[in-house]
Amino acid sequence: MTRVIRIGTRGSKLALAQTGIVADTLRATGAEVELVTVTTPGDLSSAPISQIGVGVFTSALREALLRNEIDVAVHSYKDLPTAPEDGLVLAAVPPREDPRDALIARDGLTLGELPPGAKVGTGAARRMAQLRALGLGLEIVPIRGNIDTRMRKVTDGELDAVVLARAGLARVGRVDEITETLDPIQMLPAPAQGALALECRAADVDVEHLLASAADDESTRVAVTAERALLAALEAGCSAPVGALAEIVEDLDDEGAVVERISLRGTAAVEGENGGVDMVRASAIAGIGEAEKLGRELAAELLDLGAGELLGPAL
Ligand SMILES: NCc1[nH]cc(CCC(=O)O)c1CC(=O)O
């Protein structure tokens, strides 16, 4: 392609790192690319995400695409609303980073080593409820801000620990400061955590083909499709207290041949008034071609267990 491809990005260190990966991938095909920084309401406000609204990090990038100011939008997939945007296509899902959440605690401590009353910072309702459910007597402190701001609260001594996505830390080169990577049995990550979503205009078939051929990762797409289908079927959005993790596992078919299947776990967890947590959890497994259906079916199972009542007030 002879045209210069304009890649839209947010200006945060994490967003620039993510966009850099995509830019390098496209340059490797010989494409010429330039980066265009787009400021989003999520970057300007420090109010809780639940108060700013849906798509705080992603809408401005989508609008810039529709206004033809950029050709590719690089999103953190977990921040993308489940509803598709008219005129845009999700052209590629690049290889995912480790999807798990991570603890960064003072003195190298793990979750289990934090004393009762320890202050743990997180802004996500999903992380708050799952932390609370561990029954460790932690004091959960709502925080916001970029990775550096959150980490500084631990180094400053304001908090004993913070919980962040391991993927974000990996992308900005700070995994060394993680004191524990949280087992999904304790803390299921957000649907699509650690994955990127590359959007372009539906009419821009050249860019769509370039993204699909150069940047798409089939296994990641299968996994996030299952996780996002679960989220959508719960009629929940990216700030809902819903965790989901799909993994591609090797299994044996009826003839004993090795086949790949998708193993999906899901949870909805909400803090009650009495300091307790209402939580439902379930898991299911299906064939590699059934990601969407698996997500919907596991959501139906969670709804049977009461996820609807539980999430009702939280949405
Ligand atoms: N909601 C903010 C956000 N969006 C994507 C990431 C991290 C990278 C990722 O999950 O892909 C983060 C920060 C965090 O949750 O720690």
Which protein residue's CA is at the shortest distance from atom 8 of ligand 1?
A: 168
The CA-atom distances, in angstroms, between 232 and each of 42, 129, 133 are 22, 20, 24
* Residue 197 alpha carbon to ligand 1 centre in Å: 13
Q: Which residues lie below 8 Å from residue 205, measured CB to CB, with a gap of 6+? A: none
**Amino acid 99: pLDDT:** 98
Q: Is residue 190 part of a domain?
A: no
* Residue 162 alpha carbon to ligand 1 centre in Å: 13
Q: Is residue 189 part of a domain?
A: no
Q: Is residue 172 part of a domain?
A: yes
Alpha helices in the chain (DSSP H): 13-27, 41-44, 49-52, 59-66, 125-133, 147-155, 166-171, 205-215, 218-233, 291-304, 307-311
Q: Is residue 242 part of a domain?
A: yes
Which protein residue's CA is at the shortest distance from atom 9 of ligand 1?
A: 194
What residues are in contact with ligand 1 under a 6 Å CB criterion?
A: 76, 78-79, 164-165, 167-168, 193-194
Does residue 310 sit in the same domain as residue 228? yes
Residues paired with 252 in a beta bridge: 258
* Residue 252 alpha carbon to ligand 1 centre in Å: 35
Residue 167: both structure tokens together: 């993927």
Query: What is the gyration radius of the CA atoms in the chain, in angstroms?
Result: 20
Does residue 69 sit in the same domain as residue 49? yes
- Total of domains in the chain: 3
The CA-atom distances, in angstroms, between 52 and each of 3, 39, 42, 159, 171 are 36, 15, 7, 25, 26
Q: Give the CATH number, domain containing residue 262.
A: 3.30.160.40
Is 79 considered catalytic here? Answer: yes
Q: Which residues lie below 8 Å from residue 274, measured CB to CB, with a gap of 6+? A: none
Does residue 249 sit in the same domain as residue 299? yes
DSSP secondary-structure letter at 84?
P
Query: What string of pLDDT tens digits covers the 315 residues of the chain?
Result: 679 999 999 999 999 999 999 999 999 999 999 999 998 766 666 665 555 555 777 899 999 999 999 999 999 999 999 888 999 999 999 999 999 999 999 999 999 999 999 999 999 999 999 999 999 999 999 998 899 999 999 999 999 999 999 999 999 999 999 999 999 999 999 999 999 999 999 999 999 999 999 999 999 999 999 999 999 999 877 788 999 999 999 989 899 999 999 999 999 999 887 778 999 999 999 999 999 999 999 999 999 999 999 998 655
Does residue 173 sit in the same domain as residue 201? no
Per the structure, the complete domain to which residue 117 belongs is given by 101-181
In this prediction the pTM is 0.93
Atom of ligand 1 at shortest range from CA of 195: 11
Q: Which of 71, 79, 101, 278 is catalytic?
A: 79
* ipTM, 2 dp: 0.95
